[in-house]
Amino acid sequence: MKSSHPRLSQSKPPQSGPPLSNSAQPEAYQSDSCHSKTWFPESWQTCRLSQQAHYADLKLLDKTIQELSQLPPLVSVQEIEELKTKIASAAKGDSFVLQGGDCAELFSDCNAEVITDKLKILLQMSLILVYGLNKPVVKIGRMAGQYAKPRSAETETINGLSLPCYRGDLINGVEFTPEQRQPDPKRLLKGYSFASLTLNYLRTLLDNHFGDLSNVDNWDLDFVAHSSRAREYHEILDKLKYSQSVIENLTLQTNTASAKDKIYTCHEALHLHYEQALTRQCDRGRWYNLSTHMPWIGMRTSQLDSAHVEYMRGIENPVAIKIGPSMSAEQLLDLVNILDPNNCPGRLTLITRFGEQKIQQLLPAMICLIQKEGRTPLWCCDPMHGNTSITSHGRKTRRFDAIINELTKAFQIHQNLGSHLGGVHFELTGENVTECVGGARGLTELDLQKAYKSLVDPRLNAEQALEIAILITRLNQPS
| Chain residues that interact with ligand PEP, rule: CB under 6 A | 103, 150, 298-300, 322, 353, 385, 457
Q: Per CB under 5 A, which of residues 209..238 are in contact with Co ion?
A: none
Q: Which does 199 bind (CB under 5 to 8 A by kind): ligand PEP, Co ion, none?
A: none
* Shortest CB 240 distance to ligand PEP, Å: 31
CA-CA distance, 16 to 223, in Å (whole number)? 59
> Please, where are the H alpha helices in 314-358?
329-339
Cα–Cα nearest to 142, from 347, 462, 428: 428
- Select the binding partner of residue 298 from Co ion, ligand PEP, none (C-beta < 5 to 8 A, by kind): ligand PEP
Tell me which of Co ion, ligand PEP, none is bound by residue 353, counting a contact when its beta carbon lies within the kind-specific cut-off of 5 to 8 angstroms. Answer: ligand PEP
Figure out which of the listed residues 42, 310, 340, 457 binds Co ion, where binding follows CB under 5 A.
457
Closest CB 168 distance from ligand PEP, rounded Å:
10
435 is an interface residue for Co ion by CB under 5 A: no
Residue 187 near which of ligand PEP, Co ion, none (CB within 5-8 Å, type-dependent) = none
Total number of residues shown for the chain: 479
- CB nearer to ligand PEP: pick between 84 and 300: 300
In the complex, the smallest distance separating the C-beta of residue 101 from ligand PEP, rounded to whole angstroms, is: 10
Please, what is the minimum distance in Å from the beta carbon of residue 332 to Co ion? 21
Q: In the stretch 45-84, what mask flags binding to Co ion with x, by CB under 5 A?
A: ----------------------------------------
CB nearer ligand PEP, residue 230 or residue 299? 299
Min CB(99)–Co ion separation in Å: 12
Minimum distance of Co ion from residue 101's CB (angstroms): 10
Residue 299 site contact among ligand PEP, Co ion, none (CB < 5 to 8 Å, cut-off depends on kind): ligand PEP
CA 47 from centre of chain: 24
Q: Could you tell me which of 363, 249, 292, 315 has the C-alpha nearest to residue 148? A: 292
Question: Which one of Co ion, ligand PEP, none is in contact with 115 (Cβ closer than 5 to 8 A by kind)?
Answer: none
CA 289/CA 275 separation, integer angstroms: 7
CB of 384 vs Co ion, minimal distance in Å: 7
150 or 346: whose CB is closer to ligand PEP? 150
Distance CA 456, CA 454 (A): 5
Determine, following the binding rule CB under 5 A, whether residue 143 of this chain makes contact with Co ion.
Answer: no
Mark the segment that binds Co ion (CB under 5 A) among 50-58, 209-217, 436-444, 449-457: 449-457
Query: Helix 58-70 and helix 186-207: axis angle, to 10°?
Result: 30
Helix (H, G, I), strand (E, B) or coil at 163: strand
Closer to ligand PEP by Cβ: residue 139 or 322: 322
Looking at the Cβ atoms of 335 and 344, the one nearer to ligand PEP is 335
- Select the binding partner of residue 150 from Co ion, ligand PEP, none (C-beta < 5 to 8 A, by kind): ligand PEP
- Give the bridge partners for 348, in sequence order: 319
DSSP state of 14: P
Q: Which candidate, 157, 156, 230, 185, places its Cα nearest to that of 67? A: 185
Phi/psi of residue 450, nearest 5 degrees: -65, -45
Three-state DSSP state, 368? helix
Residue of minimal Cβ distance to ligand PEP: 298
> Cα torsion for 117, 123, 125, 130, to the nearest 10°?
180
Closest C-alpha among 144, 87, 165, 101 to residue 378: 87
Question: b/e string for 291-325 if b means 16 or more Cβ within 10 A?
Answer: bbbbbbbbbbbbbbebbbbbbbbbbbbbbbbbbbb
Contact criterion met (CB below 8 Å) for 271 and 171: yes
CB 297, min distance to ligand PEP, A: 8
Residue 247 Cβ vs ligand PEP, minimum distance, rounded to whole Å:
39
Q: Could you tell me which residues come within 8 angstroms of residue 177 by beta carbon, excluding any fewer than 6 positions away?
A: 163
**CA-based end-to-end distance of the chain:** 50
Q: Which residues contact 265 (CB under 8 A, 6 or more apart)?
A: 75, 140, 141, 143, 144, 145, 199, 292, 293, 294
**Which CB atom, from 132 or from 168, has the smaller least distance to ligand PEP?**
168
- Which one, 150 or 345, has the nearer CB to ligand PEP? 150
Task: Please state the closest distance from residue 18 (CB atom) to Co ion, in A.
Answer: 33
Q: Per CB under 5 A, which region of 246-254, 325-333, 406-414, 452-460 contacts Co ion? A: 452-460
In whole angstroms, give the CA distance from residue 140 to residue 211.
14
Nearer to ligand PEP, 300 or 313 (CB): 300
Residue 414 touches which of Co ion, ligand PEP, none (Cβ within 5-8 Å per kind): none
Applying CB under 5 A, the residues found at the interface with Co ion are 103, 457
